[in-house]
Each structure stands twice: as C-alpha cells, then as structure tokens.
Amino acid sequence: MNVGDRVRVERNAVTHEGVLLPSSTDEELVVKLDGGYNVGLDREQASVEVLEENVHTVGESETGDSTVAFDEDLPTVALVSTGGTIASTVDYRTGAVTAQFDAEDVLRAVPDLAGRANYRGRVVANILSENMDASIWQDLADAVHEEIENGADGVVVMHGTDTMQYTASALALMLDTPVPVVFTGSQRSADRPSSDNVMNAVCAVEAAKADCAEVLVCMHASESDDECALHRGTRVRKGHTSRRDAFETVGAPPLGVVDYDAATGDEPEEAVEFRGDYVARGERALSLAPALNENVELLKFHPGMDPSRLESLSGADGIVIEGTGLGHVNTDLIPTLAEFVDDGTVVAMSSACIEGRVCDRVYDTGRDLLDAGVVEAEDTLPETAYVKLMWALENHDDPAAAMGTDLAGEATDRSTPWQA
C-alpha cells in the first residue's frame, strides 16, 4: 500500500473509499474521499484494502509536455490571476488544492476552456482576497492595460470572492477599456463535487468574447448550473458567505447572463445575452488612470458610537460613512465631521440599506450633515464609494462633487422598483 493508491478503509463498521494521501504521523491514515474532503483514521484500528495502485503519482508533475496551440480563427483572451480557487487542482502531496497560473495549467485545471479562445496566462498576485490592497489593484490595472495593449480581445481576472467587488470597482474607475474585462471566482474549491469553478470560468471566457466592453463580475446566477449572471463591476455586492449565487447587482437586474448549456453546446456565440445598456466593444479608447489616495477610511456608523472614536480619523484625506436609512449618523458626531471638512477632508455619506439612495434633505439630521459639508454619494454602494473616493482624490478636480456624479456606472439617475 502506497500513497496515491485507491483504497477502501473500514473502521468501526464505517467504510471509506478514496485516494491515500501522505500522513504527518505513522499512526494515522489520510484519505481523499470522492466527495473532495480528507479524512484521518487511526491506522491500528483500520482495515485497509488496496483497490487500485498508483491512481495518482504523488510528488511528480502531472502537467506533461503539452503546449497550448494557437488558432488564428479564435480570439485571444488574457487570463490574469490574483489568487483564489477558480483555477485550482488537487495537490495529492498534501490533499489540498493548489492554484494554477499559466495558460497550460489553467486549461488542465479547466479543460472545458479548450477551443474557446487562444489564452495568455499572467500572474499578478497569489493571495487571499482579504489581503488585497490599493497597490495590488494598481498592479492589476497595469497588467490588464498591458494585455489589452498587446492585443487581447478580452480579459478574465481570476480573483477571490471576498473582496472582488472592491477590486472590480477599482478597475472600472482606473481603466477605460475597448474590450470586456471579466472578473470571476469560485465559492467552492475544485476538489468538491459542487465546485462552481468550471462553469464560472467557461461563462467568464464567453463574456470576455462578447460585445460589452466594461468591467464585469461573472458568477452563478442561481444555485443551479444553468446560467451565470453578469454584474456591472461598480454595482455588485457579495450577499452570501457560501452560496454559489452569492453575488447580486444591487438596485437592478444583472446587466446580462451567460447560458451555460448554450456555452457548452454547438452555438456558444448565442450564450451571452445583455439586458441593459452598456458600453460596446471598441466604443472607448484604451486609457489608464491608476493613481489612488490610500488615506481614505470607510466608517460604519452604529447607535451609541462615541464621538471621540472619530479622533483616529483626523488627518484623513477622505472618509466614506455608511450611515443609517437616508444617510444619517448620531447628531453628536456632526460637529467633529464639520471640523474634518473645514480641515480639508472630503466626507461622503452612503447608506447601509441594500436598496435606495442617500437623501439628506428630508430630516433635520440630514440637513445638519449637509450644512457641515458632508456630500451625498447618491445610491453608490459603500464599498464602491470608498474606492471611488480614493480614485477621485487623485484624478478629479473636485473630489467632493465627483462623489455625487456617476463616473463608471456606480450611481444611477434615480432609484426605481424593479422586477427580475
């Protein structure tokens, strides 16, 4: 019995089947189950039967010598990785999943991508998305700009899901693009039967070949494997911790969908459907404005907040407040906010509500905030407003006015009820 063999293990009248993995101790067996999970078992109390030898060769490369052939009849899609599980495979040395980066590796991890486009692979970062910061957003924008400049017909950005909405907003503001830039990720790792990595990757590539030249987020539209939704990068929010359809466009239906059956059928060119107005391919010239001011904070107001807590924000160039309802905070905080504005800080108000827009002209608190110099961020999502203020402070003549102006689809003209 060797690591890499397929085994059946019986212990305490319970049977497990899977691939034998390396163990850190001689007293335990570790088995990769068919469902993707690893189980550790006491070796002494277990009965082991080898079902098949060398199912996986552990410790050696499984990549082979294949190369990605270029087909001049296909478009070129750049695959830009920042980390995450979207293009990962099982590492049978450890039982965990490991990220794959170059074009060949991605095609091995997601073979369904083959024949859809010519691919160029590029690594910007290999981090968990909670470790993202402004410098990596800038590196990513530079990389995407360079790929488009070098002839990419579309770009797919592979990104962890937790902070994808921040990064997508940053690129939408920093980059004017003549081709689609599509973010995608995976809520479930590649070693789980319910993984969404294959479908999301396939749909993202189809979206990158389509006509909408904006920054989009492509993720499952429902819990089923039927279609992916295409969300505008500045209007999307992750609304669930683990569901595959965790992402939603706030305040409107998704900008488009990708039908997975059509994408994997005989006519993939019919898979993508857009249901709203968008910037068409080639309509804008390529340009990049990557400067960001990192001295900006996002503050979530809560009842009972001590005004003295605001002192730590003194000296910030910008503050985005996630206020209650129409955009309110405790009146005791307003004098401090007024002092910040007088000292040159741009203070913008957003709302913690999922739907609707800020309007500080209804109640006395709102009017006092406006008198203090706080500006309304309209219906811009708080996370997007935070990124927007970072960008506006470096790239706009009047950052305060910019926060009430739609720059990249983040603020709508009016909030209206909608039906899917």
Which token pair is 319? 């503050």
Name residue 18's beta-bridge partners: 7, 33
Concerning whether 161 is annotated as a catalytic residue, the answer is yes
The alpha carbon of residue 76 and the mean position of all alpha carbons in its chain are separated, in whole angstroms, by 22
Concerning whether 162 is annotated as a catalytic residue, the answer is yes
CA dist 400 → 330, 341, 397 (Å)? 22, 10, 9
Q: Which of 82, 89, 161, 249 is catalytic?
A: 161
CA dist 38 → 16, 50, 94, 190 (Å)? 11, 17, 10, 13
Query: For residues 127 and 260, what is the distance between their CA atoms, to the nearest angstrom?
Result: 29
Query: For residues 20 and 53, what is the distance between their CA atoms, to the nearest angstrom?
Result: 10
Q: Which of 32, 238, 345, 388 is catalytic?
A: 238
Concerning whether 384 is annotated as a catalytic residue, the answer is no
Report phi then psi at 269, rounded to 5. -65, -15
Concerning whether 300 is annotated as a catalytic residue, the answer is no
With CA atoms as reference, report the closest residue to 221 among 204, 264, 87: 204
The gap between the terminal CA atoms of the chain, to the nearest Å, is 56
Residue 416 makes CB contacts below 8 A (sequence gap 6+) with none
β-pairing verdict for 256-259 and 375-376: unpaired
Residue 362 makes CB contacts below 8 A (sequence gap 6+) with 326
E strand residue ranges, 247-311: 247-249, 256-259, 272-274, 287-288, 296-300
Residue 94 makes CB contacts below 8 A (sequence gap 6+) with 21, 22
Q: Which of 85, 89, 234, 384 is catalytic?
A: 85
Which positions are catalytic? 85, 161-162, 238
